[in-house]
Amino acid sequence: MNGPSTRSGGLFRNNPVAVMLVGLCPAAAVTGRVIDALWMSAGLILVLLLTRLSLEILKAFSFPGSGTGHMTDWLSLLFLASCFTASFELVLGAFAPDESAGLGIYAPLIAVNCIVLDRLAGRGSQEPAGPGEIGRSLGQASGLGAGFALSLIVISLIRETLGSGTITLFPIGSFGGTIAVGGISLAPARALVYAGGGLLCLGYLAGAARLVRRVKGAERA
Amino acid sequence: MSLLGIILTFSLVDNIVLSRLLGICPCVGSPGGMRATAGTSAATALLMSLSALAAWALESFLLRPLGLEFLRTPAFVLAVAGLAGLLDVVARRAVPQLLRAAGIPLAGIAVNCATLGVVLIAAKGGFTALQSLVVGLAAGGGFFIALTLLTAIRERLEVEKVPEWLRGLPLHLISAGLLAYAFMAFDRAFLSRLFQGW
Amino acid sequence: MAEPHPDVASPPALAVSPAPHLRGLVSSARLNWSVACCLLPAAAWGVFLFGLPALRVLGMAAGVSLLAELITSLAWGRITVRDGSAMVTGLLVGMLMPPGVPLYVPAAASAFGIMVVKQSFGGLGRNWMNPALGGVVFALFSWSDSMSRWLPVRGAGSAVAPLAALRDAFAGGKAGSGGLLAVLGAHGYPWSATDGRVVTWVNDHVLSLLGASLPRGVFDMLVGTVPGGIGEISVPLLLIGAAYLIVRRVIRWQVPVTYLVTFCVAAQLFGGLPMGRGWLAGGVLFQLFSGSLVLGAFFMATDPVTSPLTLRGNLILAASLGVLTFFLRYFGTLGDGVPLAILLGNAVAPLIDRFTQPRVRSAGKGVIG
């Protein structure tokens, strides 16, 4: 499996959730409301970029744990990812405590997903560190993060609209944050908000992505 | 909560995969047969129970007394990874043939949501040491149930002519979703009435 | 069609058996339409009792089911509506619905059942979950209030299904002793006038000679003039349809009989316990005639597509279903336990197959159909 080669690769062609099928747990679990998906994606992108940046800086200074050995490599990745995740959790808990509660135990799992995605982003980067290398690797990471966010947002839009009849966004000023959607909000299909709904949407998203790829491939051929 | 209650809750009512949606990646992703399923589940259950115990120890002796709860995530991630590495080394020395036959990627088990998620649930639940251990085992048991059922379904699907765009992982996810709905039959009300009734 | 996967420890026995063919054969058009016809008497009874709303629900369920099948099969370039399975699914969905349910519920249930549970897997013979039950359970969790909109039977006054009423009676904590029907009567459950006349007549002219008496409600329960799902209330009509199917060898009699017998044994032995009535006091006959037990046992647990392949596997599953239904009905709160139990049975069927199939050693997987 090749890693993404361009920035746009992570968004569509190599979308982490729909195509490469990693990070499935938050994609199914935290997509009951749009705002949960938004915060989760924001957290993941932040942690991923920060971790990647730190690793690149470490590599630039040739510190141990920056690609010189397998075990130290692994440990530094784990440590960095989990520390940044903990920071994100603290900040979220301080500024948006309701949201923090909404994400629950899935916020710390950003660390785990970040580790997996970072492995994908950092692949094939044995070249010596430098601004170009840092830029490229951050670009890959942001592409993957954006792809993750896109998948989560799509799933959460479907699940929340059909399953609760609302779309929950950030409360700004007088806007409470919840949009009620027309007729559906009278009798939403609540089953979509439950665990099964998440898995179903995820499955159909992956299938749809494959369908799109097939159509595009047929066009090019 | 009694030990039996813990076992039933974490394996059926709040099934790790089908209710909490943790550990989806190994459940639908790994292409192994039944033997690999048993091996993966056993390793996962072992790792989960040991990690839950370790997390209990960390929480009780380090994090809470010193007011370091904010370090919970790094502490648990490193603990789980450490235990997984330890198990890996032990398994390689003790039962190498078993590992080869079952094809268990222990590193993969460590770096997935399931173990860390279980550990977090156990830590937040305020359980005792023994209860944490049982939570981990029960969660592993629930993982085993889900993985076994999904593997059998997957084996049946492999010989059917399914729509091309859904073949493979999409259909496994859809199957998991349908299974999750079926498992909603086991809910907390059911469990509590079961215990009252007897 | 499928190459042996390098990671698979042993080739699944299923791959080399003619199983998919067998499923396809049994589910042929003639058989499906027979099943549909055998469901009609019970469905018609429901329409007779509940009137136009019931007819609308049935029509919507069947109509959407056929439409969904038509649309999805057109996407594959062939029309499979003729094979009758969509008709059976639609009928079953409608029959499990309460008559007062808003029409979008059976529509969604049928659509979900056909498109997600059946067609996504490749259509007839390839789904592992019963489409009708998948749709009904989806509706049950999505619109749980709507799914208990019972309607009163013509002439009677109550709009609560007997099983639900019984739950209420016991929840109150003051259910007296005596049979379950007596408990319902004590709680003022309004049986029909016909029931009153028949039971009184029988008591006066027949049973008083023997010194026994029947409680009110026996006639209503037996004949099926109680509120409930449209097609599940008339056990005699369902049994007639099922008998025809058994005689014509469309369904195996062993499966429903095992299911019901296991349930009865469990219910009679242990059923009294959750209600605080001791052992051997389960009120089996009442349970048999309420809810979708007979409908499920004869028409859904026997679906060859979602059942194990061997007779032994089927019997194991049927017994498990009996026990599971007992637990879900007596201790659960999500309806009468049958749909969810059968769904769980569907989930376990492939596993049962895995362990009851005769092992056939072969170099690789055969290419089937």
Using one digit for the tens of pLDDT, what is the confidence trace for B24-56? 877 777 667 787 788 788 888 888 999 999 999
Q: What is the pLDDT of residue A87?
A: 92
Please identify which residue in the block is written with the tokens 């439950």: A194
B178 touches chain C (CB under 8 A): yes
Q: Which two tokens stand for residue A134?
A: 């840092």
More confident residue, C81 or A142: A142
What amino acid is encoded at C294 in this protein?
V
**Is the Cβ–Cβ distance between B178 and C134 less than 8 Å?**
yes
Summary mean pLDDT of chain B: 84
∠ CA C180-C183-C184, rounded to 5°: 90
Q: Is C334 exposed, middle or buried (0-12, 13-18, 19+ CB in 10 A)?
A: buried
**Residue to substitute from C117, C126, C147, C330, interface B, most B β-carbons within 10 A:** C126
pLDDT surpassing 50 at residue C369: no
pLDDT: which is higher, C313 or C225: C313
What is the reported pLDDT for B30?
Answer: 66
Distance CA C364, CA C10 (A): 10
* A142-164: average pLDDT: 91
| Cα separation, B154 vs B172, whole angstroms | 7
With respect to residue A1, please indicate whether it lies within any of the assigned structural domains. no
Among residues A45, A48, A47, which one has the least CA distance to residue A90?
A: A47
**Contact between residue A160 and residue A193 where contact means Cβ atoms under 8 Å apart:** yes
Q: Give C283 to chain B, closest Cα distance, Å.
A: 16
Tell me which residue has tokens 């090019």: A220
Average pLDDT over residues B95-120: 68
Output the DSSP codes for C191-207.
--HHHHHHHHHHIIIII
Specify the DSSP class assigned to residue A128.
Answer: P
**DSSP secondary structure letters along A149-201:** HHHHHHHHHHHHHHHHSEEE---BTTB-SEEE-TGGGGS--GGGGSHHHHHHH
In angstroms, the CA C127 to CA C349 distance is 12
Residue C195 domain flag: no
Report if residue C25 sits inside a domain.
yes
Residues A214, B165: C-beta atoms closer than 8 Å? yes
Regarding predicted confidence, which is higher, C310 or A120?
C310
Would you call C323 an interface residue with chain B, using a CB distance cutoff of 8 Å? no
Residue C296 lies in a domain: no
Spatial separation of the C-alpha atoms in residues C138 and A195, rounded to whole Å: 12
Contact across the interface for B163 and C122, Cβ inside 8 Å: yes
Please state the domain count of chain A.
1
- Cα separation, A142 vs A147, whole angstroms: 8
Residue A108 lies in a domain: yes
Residue to substitute from A162, A184, A190, A215, interface C, most C β-carbons within 10 A:
A190
Cα separation, A151 vs A40, in Å, equals 12
Residue carrying structure tokens 């005596």:
C178
Question: For residue C20, what pLDDT band results from cuts at 50, 70 and 90?
Answer: very low
Q: Which domain holds residue C81?
A: 20-151
* Residues from chain A contacting residue C145 (CB–CB below 8 Å): none
C356 contacts C313 by C-beta, under 8 angstroms = yes
A191/C142 Cβ within 8 A: yes
Of C15, C116, C340, which is closest to B182 when you measure between CB atoms?
A: C340
ipTM exceeding 0.85, yes/no:
yes
A62 falls in which pLDDT band (50, 70, 90)?
low
- If residue A82 lies in a helix (H) or strand (E), which one and from where to where? helix A70-95
For Cα atoms C64, C68, C73, give the angle at the middle one, nearest 5 degrees: 150
Is the CB of residue B105 less than 8 Å from the CB of residue B19? no
Residue with the bigger pLDDT between C244 and A120: it is: C244
Q: Which residues of C touch B164 (CB under 8 A)?
A: none
Neighbours of B, requiring at least 3 CB pairs below 8 Å, are A, C
Q: Give the pLDDT score at A100.
A: 82
Helices (H), chain B: 3-8, 24-29, 34-57, 72-94, 96-102, 106-110, 113-124, 129-158, 169-183, 188-197
Range of the domain at A38: 7-220
Structural domain of B50 = 32-141
pLDDT, tens only, B62-92? 888 888 888 888 999 888 888 888 887 887 7
The amino acid that residue A9 corresponds to is G
Residue C39 lies in a domain: yes
Would you say residue B159 lies in a domain? no
- In this prediction, residue C139 carries a pLDDT of 95
Average pLDDT of span C180-187: 77
Does residue C185 register a pLDDT over 80? no
Taking alpha carbons only, the member of C34, C25, C29 closest to residue C125 is: C25
- How far from chain centre, in Å, is Cα C368? 31
Residue A68 scores a pLDDT above 50: no
* H-helix segments, C76-217: 85-96, 104-111, 131-142, 162-171, 180-186, 193-202, 208-210
* pLDDT of residue A209 exceeding 80: yes
Which of residues A69 and C78 earns the better pLDDT score? C78
In whole angstroms, how far apart are CA C102 and each of C54, C57, C150? 11, 8, 11
**B161/C354 CB distance under 8 A:** no
Return the percentage of chain C with pLDDT > 70, whole number: 82
| C142 inside domain | yes
* Closest partner CB to B185 (pick from C8, C9, C344): C344
Q: Residue A172: which residues within 8 A CB-CB, separation 6 or more?
A: none
Alpha carbon B136 to chain centroid distance?
A: 8
Which residues neighbour C84 within 8 Å (Cβ) at sequence distance 6 or greater?
C29, C31, C32, C33, C35, C36
Whole-model pTM: value is: 0.89
Whether residues C141 and A191 touch (CB distance < 8 A) is answered with yes
Evaluate whether residue C35 is within a structural domain: yes
> Which of A41-45, A83-87, C47-51, C165-169 has the lowest average pLDDT?
C165-169
Q: In total, how many domains does chain C have?
A: 1
Give the model confidence (pLDDT) of B115-166 as tens digits: 889 999 988 888 888 999 999 999 999 999 999 999 999 988 888 888 888 8
Count of structural domains, chain B: 1
Q: Evaluate whether residue A55 is within a structural domain.
A: yes
Q: Which among A29, A14, A200 has a CA at the least distance from the CA of A106?
A: A29
Q: Is residue A2 part of a domain?
A: no
Mean pLDDT of C55-62: 95
Report how far apart the first and last C-alpha atoms of chain B are (Å, whole number): 16
Residue B67 buriedness (CB in 10 A; 0-12 / 13-18 / 19+): exposed
Q: Using one digit for the tens of pLDDT, what is the confidence trace for C199-217?
A: 888 888 777 677 777 777 8
Q: Which residues contact C307 (CB under 8 A, 6 or more apart)?
A: C255, C301, C313, C314, C317, C349
pLDDT for the residue numbered C57: 95
Is residue B24, in this structure, part of any structural domain at all? no
- Kindly report, residue by residue over A181-202, the tens digit of the pLDDT: 777 778 888 999 999 999 999 9
Cβ–Cβ gap C142/A192 under 8 Å = yes
DSSP three-state, residue C298: helix
Of residues A120 and B21, the one with the higher pLDDT is: B21
